[in-house]
Structure 1
Amino acid sequence: MTESSVHPALWPAPHASGAVDATVTVPGSKSVTNRALVLAALSAEPGWLRRPLRSRDTLLMAEALRAMGVGIEETVSSSSSVAGGPDGSGEAWRIIPAGLHGPVTIDVGNAGTVMRFLPPVAALANGPVRFDGDPRSYERPLNGVIDALRVLGARIDDDNRGSLPMTVHGAGALDGGPVAIDASSSSQFVSALLLSAPRFNQGVEVRHTGARLPSMPHIRMTVDMLRAVGAQVDEPETGGEPNVWRVSPSALLGRDLTVEPDLSNAQPFLAAALVTGGRITIPDWPLRTTQPGDALREIFTAMGGSCELTEHGLTFTGSGRIHGIDVDLGEVGELTPGIAAVAALADSPSTLSGVAHLRLHETDRLAALTKEINELGGDVTETADGLHIRPRPLHGGTFHTYDDHRMATAGSIIGLAVPGVEIENVATTAKTLPDFPQMWTGMLGA
């Protein structure tokens, strides 16, 4: 399966004729779904995953685990009042752990969670597990996981690239123990080791030794989900040593988990309320969450909106004005493309900082945002760790996505306010947000 063809079709981004007023049900969190799949696969008993996200990234994770022997049965949940849909709403997946085995080849696509979370799992399998993926996956850093696994006792063939393709020669177990890594390019290096650590003979002690660690909410999510299945975790957040995480060896419990809506994927819809001066309601927005997308409530309010969070969900209302913002996005870097799109339409400049690591994401997001917004008439410059955005009148044109789902949604946000924007390869949104074009036009009442 590929995310693009040689000449991807252009999608005319809908232009808003007035203020939006809609309720948008956002599919489940990719980050929660893929972490839950790994933990359930390593558990000592079967578990359930309800309302999982069905997207390219999560289906790649599920297929990879199946290939290594894990049972994943997909059904429509009788306990859900929502009919099963293509995005996984109303579905339930029963995960049945089994002995992990090779030989097998795993397609990671361009999914960071798959390429980083599964090599530690493969080290626990009996037999070789080869990892391959999209061309861009070869360029994304994997050295933090590869080097750490070697220290912990694994044998890996990667021709000394520190990236894909590679083969993990699983021996059925892994010693584990202490390891130091530089995870400044991706917090997923830490999460990858922590998720499988309860199954290591000695557990693990992960010490981050590099510069600032990005996307800390995702590590908090990993720790919370480990504890929920019975793992013992010591972490900096609860009085532990700074930049050190310890996981003890233990059996993991099967559990029944309902996946939260993906709050980062709610971003373009909340942005639509801000851009059009309208109102959007996202049902089931959690009152407490480790998802980075929860920061949108504060960030978009500062940019000119207001929000009300109740037990039923979040309602966000735009004021008709968009203000620039000076914000450090180091902990929530995945929100940068959508914030940059809104900032390009603001009434004052914005500075987005703390996100140098975005140069290593699905594409170099800082370079891509700069090029694409400027080609529509914008004035964006890259800084050492982010973007400076000076709003200018924008015009229509092609907005390239570089096989990056968040570039596609960023271009769609601009298209609400700027006629004639065409999104190259909008189908790339299927990576994490199935049916985005239909959801987007539905929000506009089309």
Structure 2
Amino acid sequence: MQTTLLERIRARTARVGVIGQGYVGLPLALVFREAGFPVTGFDIDPAKVAALARGESYIQHIGPERVAAAVASGQYTPSAEFDDLRDCDAILICVPTPLGAHRDPDNSFIHETARQVAARLRPGQLVVLESTTYPGTTDEEVLPLLEASGLRSPGDFLLAFSPEREDPGRRDFTTKSIPKLIGGVNPASTEAAAALYSAALDRVVPVSSSRVAEASKLMENVFRSVNVALVNELKLIFGSMGIDVWEVIRAAETKPFGFMAFYPGPGLGGHCIPLDPFYLSWKAAEHGEWARFIELAGEINSRMPRYVTDKVAEALNEDGKAIKGSRTLVLGLSYKANIDDDRESPSYEIITLLQERGARVDYCDPYFPVARKVRKHDVGLASVPCSPEVFAGYDVVVVATAHDAFRDPALYAGVKLVVDTRNLIASIRFPAAGGPRRLVKA
């Protein structure tokens, strides 16, 4: 069985099925197609499948010409029919892993997908989970669900974990060039998965088990979460001392060793960093361990939107205005600059908190003409135009996302007050008499 699969991989005749055509699954499917493999891209959203079939892209940093070329080649087929899984030699699972209401892991998408795969599993297939999750998910949860089909690994099918490492909008690293970790539930699964990804990606790094691969992904995200929390806390401390944390960071990063710059902000966004560390803290508790750094980092980062709201209220008060009834403009719904990704964006929390305090809030974001309903928020707003005349009509402008579209100095010519969470204004070259009347860093 394994020999036949490896032969099909080497010949690039193995059909690759990618379940989930979002920010992780779509670029992965395109990379395999571009490497010469026939690919089926699965998604339960018929609107996405229809758009892909027309050669359209709904992700800003993935150009429609790339999707159109994939469809025109005849080697990429979008599908909402899980029965097509039987035709796939490799099945890659890229589905969401959100948190529940009490920050408990929600692996229901993984479990349901595994059941759908099990119902169609046949001998000779390789299944790879890419969704971020806690150690033990692949061998303790996915493997039994697949073996409920009556087939066994490694004799009948192979199973591995390979964590996604997508960073939407990044240009120096891509799906193809980011090193890929591979950990199988047995050596045969590791070998087959490594062979598959090596045929499409630049570098593959096999590890000893699926648990090591799962833990590695969480370590990456915990590392970032903890360090962002540290610099956010330092921002609060230095701010109380009248010290600009951004200048401190610039000074510290002149040291050529022993320091890595992280930057403060209005809170954490994206699918990974705000959520994934809690998968590890939850699993640690099961083993009698308390993940104190993870929990503390989560507490600090999650309080930043409230800190920003307080700074807005204080800044308005200094101008003789109350936050209640103030005209407030939030710049940016995306969780980071120049992308159309608003997953877990702190902007939604900031808007909601400002509204709760009576502010009349609008937002401006060229990537989101209309605010979407997200996991915890439904602000029901549409973007205002990005123009000096519009900006000048607000009592305060809050910079939540540092889009390049917000770097035009003319935008701030008539602005009375800016509360800047991203140090954006300091990076703009204003004419001698230009710029906002007053700037507050938050």
Give TM-score, length-normalised by structure 1.
0.29
Structure ranking higher on relative contact order (CA contacts 8 Å, 6+ apart): 1
Give TM-score, length-normalised by structure 2.
0.30
From the CA coordinates, give the structure whose radius of gyration is larger: 2
Greater strand content: 1
Greater helix content: 2
